[in-house]
Amino acid sequence: MVAANLQTKTIPGSGSGGALFAIEPLAGQQLWRYGLASEPLGDLQVGPDGTVFGVTAGPEPVLFAIDPASGRPKWLYERASALELLSPTVDSTGTVFLISAFEQMLLAMTSADGTLIWPQNVGAPVKFTPQLSPRQQQVAVVAGSTVALLDTNDMATAWQATPGGMLQAAAAINTNQVVVADRLGHVFALDLALGQLRWTVTLPTSTKAAPVFACDGATVLVVADKLYALDADSGAQRWSVATTGSPTTAALVLSDCQTGIVGTSTGKVVAVNMVDGQSKWSSTTSAPVTALSQGAASQPILVSSSNKLYALSSSTGATLWTATIGQGSIPGAAIQMGATVLVGDSLTFVHALNAATGAAIWSDRSQAGLGPWLAAATDGMFYAAGPSGVHMVQAETGFVAWSFSPDAITIAAPIVGADGTLYVGTVDGTLYALLYRPFTFAQSLCSVRALNLIEYGSVVVSAFPGEDRRRRR
């Protein structure tokens, strides 16, 4: 992170600590140096007022807040019972979020003096990609047999519920309910406000992907042995459609809100009328379909199938173009941004294609790869997430504006809220919320909030052991 008038750099020590330097970015002149008791750990963060935050490694880690003008600490924070603190994160309001990895605790404190606001105890395990409510005020998270609803402002748990057996996929969420499905073929609808069970439906087989609401929220599409349309209020079956080959993707409701499509194990893409399930069209690819996506209205449907990406007409299903992507398969959905289509392959590289022809524009040349999971941002930028971290990339050129390196690789596709917040999970069980606020193309502020989770996305219910000690200089 870069403040308006300086750059900060940590220099690891060699047994006697480390140091934090401030360097004037144009001339490269050293402005100040601050010695640390032990080596700095992870990335630095810069708050909205320029304060520099970081933590030291070792058995007695310290969170430091450094004045950018003088290089002297504003305050230091220690946690008596913590064996490890992870890099702090700072949001646009100046709130500092800190992970105590040993305790599995999320702490929040003020940037002005380090006053503790709260230790966050989130009460449900999280394993699948979170899903945001239409008003962006809540996020539904699922793992194991539990679904929890969290407030997006502070990640406080509104409720958690265990409606049945082991849950199979991410939740679907509309303005008044959350729908989840378990491995035994049960579909559950829970009240959004209280988490109370509203209805249960039993299907012949387990679901294959997350449920999906129609545009009006009145119908929920569920993929099992067939494509099912259920009434959102009662769970009553409105219609079902058998496909050639079992469904392999979540249903996709097209931008016209009148058409639902699904991909199958035989490479079929089937489109049906959302009112009665009657067939509209069918298209064929060369391999099982792994993902479907559509951008804005009238844009083509992008179909991931093995190492090929297909662009289909949303009205007829006709193949507009086909592109072979690298050497690996395509695990996730492609995205379209203006005249550019972007897709990640299983080798983690990202590729940009001409949206009209499928011709290659550029390919990811990074050593580790930027992908394979993608999400559209704003201002011609997109997010790429994968083993190498989270990256903000310019769609037109592939220029990487900034990168954020969590402590483990991502495990699912990220999602982006209406305010630009990116939600992404990692294999060590951390759920990150990153907010990108551009200043100029070369300078940007990325505010990050993180929930420390364990075991592939689990959030752990934890007490608040140990005392906290602050000292100022």
The model's pLDDT over 366-405, given as tens digits with 9 standing for 90+, comes to 777 888 888 888 888 888 888 787 888 889 988 888 777 7
Other beta carbons less than 10 A from residue 334's beta carbon: 26
Residue 283: pLDDT over 60: yes
pTM as predicted: 0.66
Reading the block at residue 162, the tokens are 């265990």
Region 337-365 average pLDDT: 92
Contacts 24+ apart (CB under 8 A), 354-359: 355/299, 355/300, 355/311, 357/321, 358/309, 358/311, 358/320, 358/321, 358/322, 358/323, 359/323
Contact 307, 345 (CB under 8 A): yes
Residue 51: pLDDT over 50: yes
Q: Which residue has the higher pLDDT, 86 or 166?
A: 166
- In whole angstroms, give the CA distance from residue 436 to residue 415: 13
- In whole angstroms, give the CA distance from residue 243 to residue 265: 10
Q: Which residue do the tokens 């401030």 mark?
A: 22
Q: How confident is the model at residue 440 (pLDDT cuts 50, 70, 90)?
A: very low
Distance of CA 435 to the CA centre of its chain: 11
Non-local (6+) Cβ contacts of 74 within 8 A are 51, 65, 66, 67, 112, 113, 114, 472
Task: Supply the DSSP symbol for 48.
Answer: T
Short-list 184, 278, 259, CA closest to 214: 259
Tell me how many helices (H) and strands (E) the chain has.
0, 44
Non-local (6+) Cβ contacts of 192 within 8 A are 133, 138, 149, 173, 174, 175, 176, 177, 178
Q: What is the pLDDT of residue 444?
A: 37
Non-local (6+) Cβ contacts of 226 within 8 A are 240, 241, 242, 243, 247
pLDDT digits (tens, 9 = 90+) for 64-115: 888 888 888 888 776 544 445 555 666 666 666 665 544 444 566 776 777 6
3 state SS of 143: strand
Return the top range by mean pLDDT from 54-63, 135-144, 359-368: 359-368
pLDDT digits (tens, 9 = 90+) for 8-17: 444 333 334 5
- In whole angstroms, give the CA distance from residue 436 to residue 447: 7
Contact 53, 77 (CB under 8 A): no
- In whole angstroms, give the CA distance from residue 216 to residue 236: 17
Give strand pairing partners of 304.
Answer: 291, 309
Picking from 65-79, 252-266, 311-325, 423-437, which range would have the lowest pLDDT averaged per residue? 423-437
Picking from 46-50, 245-249, 406-410, which range would have the lowest pLDDT averaged per residue? 406-410
- In whole angstroms, give the CA distance from residue 67 to residue 75: 9
Contact 448, 90 (CB under 8 A): yes
Short-list 122, 129, 117, 73, CA closest to 91: 117
Q: What's the chain's average pLDDT?
A: 76
Burial class (CB in 10 A: 0-12, 13-18, 19+), 41: buried
pLDDT digits (tens, 9 = 90+) for 224-242: 999 999 999 999 999 999 9
DSSP string, 164-185: SSSB-S--EE-SSEEEEEBTTS
